[in-house]
Structure 1
Amino acid sequence: MVIRLPTQKADRKMNKKWISASAIIFALAGGFYLLGNNLAVSSEVEEEIVLEEEEFEENLLYGINIDELDVIEGIVGKNQTLSTILAPFNVPYQIIDEIARKSKEVFDVRRIAFNKKFIVMTPKDSSQAQFFIYEPNPAEYVVFNLEEVQIYKEEKPVEIQRVEFGGLITKSLYQDMMELGASHELINKFADLYGWNVDFQRIPKGDKFKVIYREKVIDGVTVGFDGIETAFYEHKGQAYHAIPFEQNGEVSFFDQEGNSFKKEFLRDPVEFTRISSRYSLNRFHPVQKRYKPHLGTDYAAPTGTEIRTIGDGTVVEARFTSANGNYVKIKHNGTYTTQYLHMSKIASGIKPGERVKQGQVIGYVGSTGLATGPHLCFRFWKNGKQVDWLQEEIPPSDPILTENLLAFEKVKIEKMQQISAIPYTKNRGKLLADK
C-alpha cells in the first residue's frame, strides 16, 4: 500500500479544517453535556417536588381537610333539632334558617333523628362552626357548609367482604344460622334457593349446611347483604350443591348434576316464615266455628310483612271483600293462577291489568276479612281447580346446555373444593367434626 503524505500547503488547509471541525465537535459536546446536566437537575427537582407532595398529603375527613379544624363528634339527643345542636357553636340563627330552607331538596333537616351520629367542625382559632355533618344511615352522610351555606349528600366507600361458615341443624334453619351470625336476608335467600328441594318447615336435626356469601362493609361495620356465591345443604343424607353458572346471559344456580335450582315460581309468597295451616278438605274454621274445606296455605307473619308474587303474571283482581279482606289475584299463564288474602293493604300500583314480576311486593300481611290474626292465606289454582300448593311439582328451568358442560365442570370442581374446606360449627368459635 502506498501512503501519500500531504504537502506543507495542504497541511495548513487541513489544520484549518480540523480546527473548525474540532470547534464544532467541542461545541456540540458541551451543549450535550449542559443539556444532560440540565435534564439531570430537572429530574432531581421533579423528584424533590414529588417527594414534597407525598410528604404533605391532605388530612381528609368526609372529604374535608381538617388540618386547621377542630372536630367534635356527637349523637343526636331526644327532641334535638339542627338549631339546638348548633346553638353551642355560635352559628347565627339566620344561617341556620337559610341552611334549613336550602337543604330540603338534599336532606330535610326535620328528619334529623334521635341516636344518629353527627360531626361539628370549627376553625382552630374560632368557636363558630364551619361544617356540620350528619349521618342519616351507615352508608351516607350529609355535609352542611355553614360558611358558604352549601349542602350536599355523599355515600361512604363500601367494601365487599367474603364470608363463609357451616353448621348443623339442631333447632331450625333460622335459629341455627342466626347463632352463626347470619342476617335475616341471607337466611331468606338461602331458604329461597333450597325451597324446592327441602321443606324447611319439617327439617330433621342433623341436616348440614354451608354457605359462601358476600356482605357490604362500611367503616368496619356490616351494612348489607350482597349475594350468595355458592352453597351446600345435606338433607337426610342427600347432598345438594348450589353451583353458580352463567348461561344465556344470566347467572343461576345448578346442582352437581347440572339441573337448575330456578323454577317458574318461588317456593313461598313471604320470606322464610312459619306455615300455620295447610291445605285441608275438612278444617275447623276459627271464625265461623265449623268444619269446612281450607283450600289454601296459611303463612303466619307479623302485620306489615311484605307479600311477594311467586311468579310473573298479570293482576286480575285487587280489591276488598268481607271474607277475603284485601286481596290480590294473579294469572300467571294458561295453567296457573294464585291468590293472596287478608292483606293489611295492597301495594301501590297493584291493580287489574298490571304486569308483575316474580318476587315483586304486591301487598302486606294483615288480618282483614275473616281472620283471627295477622297471616297470609295463599291459594293456588291449576287448570281452574284449587290444589295443594305444597304438593305441586313445578318443573325447573333448563339444565346446563351440552355446549356448556365442560365449562360448568370446571366451575363445579372449584366451588365444591371451596365448600369442602369449610368446617361445621355449632356456634361462633366452636368447631364440630366434619362428618
Structure 2
Amino acid sequence: MGRKYVVAVWALFLLFSCKEDKPELKPDLAQELQVEEEPVLNFGFDFDQYEVVRDTVKWGDSFGELMLKNKVDYPKIVTVSEKYRDTFDVRKIRVGKPYVILKSKDTTLGAQIFIYQNDKVNYTVVDFRDSAQVYKSKKAVRFVEREVAGTIRNNLSATLDSLGVDYNVTIDLSEIYAWTIDFFRLEKGDRFKVIYDERYINDTVYAGRGPIKAALFEHKGKPVYAFPYVTDSLKNILDYYDQDANNLRSTFLRAPIKFGYRLSSRYNLKRRIAYYGYRVRPHKGTDYAAPVGTPIIATADGTVTESRRRGGNGKYVKIRHNGTYSTQYLHMKAQKVKRGEFVRQGDVIGWVGMTGNTGGPHVCYRFWKNGRQVDPLREKLPTAEPIADSLRTAYMDYIHPIKTQLDCIEYEAPKVPENNMITLNENHGTTQNQSHLN
C-alpha cells in the first residue's frame, strides 16, 4: 500500500509540474499569436474583394462592347486593343469561352479585372486598375501518373474508352505506333500497356493528359515497346524507340489521314468497273474515305512539286521526297500548300473533298518509287535511323526502370463463370485456351 501511495503522489507531482511548465498566455498576447487565415485566391485574386460576374462569350459579343457595358473607360479599351495585341488579340475572342469580370464594390461597379479563359489551364488577365495592363498566366496543375492495361475486344478506341481513358491517349498511341502497327487490322486478344500523366487543377478538375511516358503493344503475340528519348538536346528532337533502340518512326506514314478514315479502295491493276462495261481500268491509288474537310497530311518530308487542279484528279498536291519516292493526294476540297514549299511529315497540305472524278468524299493516295506507281501498303518502306551507337548505352540505362515498371503492370484477369464451366468468349477458342491474352 505504501508503494502505491508513493507512485500516486509522484504521478500527481508530474501532472502539476507539466501544468506549471506551460505559461498561461495573456489575452492580448494570445491574440497577437493567432495566425490570420490567408484568403483563397482565384486566378491570383481575392474574389471576396470584388463583385464577381461569370459568363461566356456569346454570339455577337465583342471585347469593346463587353467592357463599355461594364463601365470601362474607352481610352483603356483602345490601349488594350492596340498596345497588347500580341498578348491578347481582342478580335479573336471565341464564342463559348468562359470569362470572369471583377467589379469594384463601390457605387460605380466598374470593371477592374477581365479574365479570359483560353483553356482549362491557361488564361489572360486584363487589369484596368490604374493604367491598363495585360498578361498571360496559368493555373497550378498537378500531374498524376496513371498506368493502364487492356485487351482488345473490338478496337483500340472502344477498349480505352471502357477503361475511362482520355480519347487523346488513343490518338497518341495510334501516332506512336503508326508505322509499326495497322490499327485497322488489330486482332481480338491484342493487348497493350501505357504509362502517362493526367493533369488536374485543384486536385479535382481534369485538365487533359500529358505525353505518353512509355507503352507496350502486343500485336499477334509480338511485343513492341515504345519509349520517348531526346537524341539531340540542342534541337530538342524527340522520337519513340523500341526495346532494341530502333526508331518506331518510318520514313513514311501508313496513311495520309491521321484518324477517322476508312480504306475504301486499294491499289488494283486488274480492277473492272460495271460503268465501263467491266473493262479493266487499273486503280493505281489507295483511297481513304473520310468526311469533307478532314485534314490531309504529308506522309513524309519533301518538297511540293505540284499544287493545282487538273481533270479527273480534281484539286491535288504532289510531293517529291527524295530521288526515289514521290506521293500524290487527289480530290481535295482545297490545297493548303504551294509549289516549291518544303513540308514536314504530318503537316496538313489540304482537306478531303470531292473534286474531279469521285463518287464520294475521299483522298486518293498515289505512291511513286523510281518513277513507277506502286502499292504503298505492300512496299517495305525504309525506317528512320536507330539510336546512334554513342547514345545506345545511355538509352538502355534510361529505359531499364521504365521497362520494368511496364512489365509489372498486370492485365485484367479473365472473368470465370460462376459455375466454373469453360465457355466460348469473344476470341477464337475458350477462356481457358485464351487466358494468356487477358
TM-score range, shorter chain: 0.7 to 0.9
Find out whether 1:236 has 2:228 as its counterpart: no
> Structure 1 vs Structure 2: percent identity of aligned residues?
37
The 3-state SS of whatever aligns with 1:343 is: strand
The 3-state SS of whatever aligns with 1:390 is: coil
1:74 is aligned to 55
Relative distance call for 1:355 and 1:91 in structure 2 (3 A) is closer
Return the alpha-carbon distance in structure 2 between the equivalents of residues 309 and 289 of structure 1.
36
Return the alpha-carbon distance in structure 2 between the equivalents of residues 334 and 161 of structure 1.
47
Find out whether 1:310 has 2:299 as its counterpart: yes
Return the alpha-carbon distance in structure 2 between the equivalents of residues 370 and 83 of structure 1.
49
Greater CA drift, 322-331 or 263-272: 263-272
Q: Describe the superposition over 1:199-225 as per-residue Cα deviations: whole angstroms up to 9, x where unpaired.
A: 211211111011112455555544455
Return the alpha-carbon distance in structure 1 between the equivalents of residues 96 and 274 of structure 2.
44
Return the alpha-carbon distance in structure 1 between the equivalents of residues 122 and 338 of structure 2.
35
Distance apart, 1:139 and its partner CA? 3.5
Question: Given that residues 316 and 332 in structure 2 are in contact (C-alpha distance below 8 angstroms), is that contact kept between their aligned partners in structure 1?
Answer: yes
The TM-score normalised by the length of structure 1 is 0.74
Question: Given that residues 287 and 372 in structure 1 are in contact (C-alpha distance below 8 angstroms), is that contact kept between their aligned partners in structure 2?
Answer: no
Return the alpha-carbon distance in structure 2 between the equivalents of residues 361 and 233 of structure 1.
28
Q: Please state which structure has a larger fraction of its residues in strand.
A: 1
| Structure label with greater radius of gyration | 1
Distance apart, 1:86 and its partner CA? 6.2
Greater CA drift, 314-323 or 193-202: 193-202
Q: Describe the superposition over 1:38-83 as per-residue Cα deviations: whole angstroms up to 9, x where unpaired.
A: xxxxxxxxxx9xx99x858565432335453333433445655557
Return the alpha-carbon distance in structure 1 between the equivalents of residues 318 and 262 of structure 2.
22
Find out whether 1:417 has 2:417 as its counterpart: no
Which of 149, 153, 157 does residue 174 from structure 1 map onto?
157
Q: Which amino acid aligns with 2:78?
A: R
The TM-score normalised by the length of structure 2 is 0.74
Which of 368, 386, 391 does residue 373 from structure 2 map onto?
386
Q: Which amino acid aligns with 1:274?
A: R
Question: Given that residues 179 and 252 in structure 2 are in contact (C-alpha distance below 8 angstroms), is that contact kept between their aligned partners in structure 1?
Answer: no
The 3-state SS of whatever aligns with 2:250 is: coil
2:313 is aligned to 324
Relative distance call for 1:58 and 1:406 in structure 2 (3 A) is same
Unaligned runs of 5+ in 2: 1-28, 414-434
Q: Which amino acid aligns with 2:158?
A: Q
Relative distance call for 1:403 and 1:391 in structure 2 (3 A) is same
Question: Given that residues 335 and 349 in structure 2 are in contact (C-alpha distance below 8 angstroms), is that contact kept between their aligned partners in structure 1?
Answer: yes
Q: Describe the superposition over 1:77-125 as per-residue Cα deviations: whole angstroms up to 9, x where unpaired.
A: 56555577668xx844xx3644543333254556555443222323344
Please tell me the root mean square deviation across aligned C-alpha atoms, in Å. Answer: 3.4
Unaligned runs of 5+ in 1: 1-47, 427-431
Which of 75, 78, 98 does residue 101 from structure 1 map onto?
78
The 3-state SS of whatever aligns with 1:416 is: helix
Question: Given that residues 77 and 114 in structure 1 are in contact (C-alpha distance below 8 angstroms), is that contact kept between their aligned partners in structure 2?
Answer: yes
Question: Given that residues 230 and 415 in structure 1 are in contact (C-alpha distance below 8 angstroms), is that contact kept between their aligned partners in structure 2?
Answer: yes
The 3-state SS of whatever aligns with 1:64 is: coil
Relative distance call for 1:83 and 1:384 in structure 2 (3 A) is closer
The 3-state SS of whatever aligns with 1:230 is: strand
Question: Given that residues 323 and 370 in structure 1 are in contact (C-alpha distance below 8 angstroms), is that contact kept between their aligned partners in structure 2?
Answer: yes
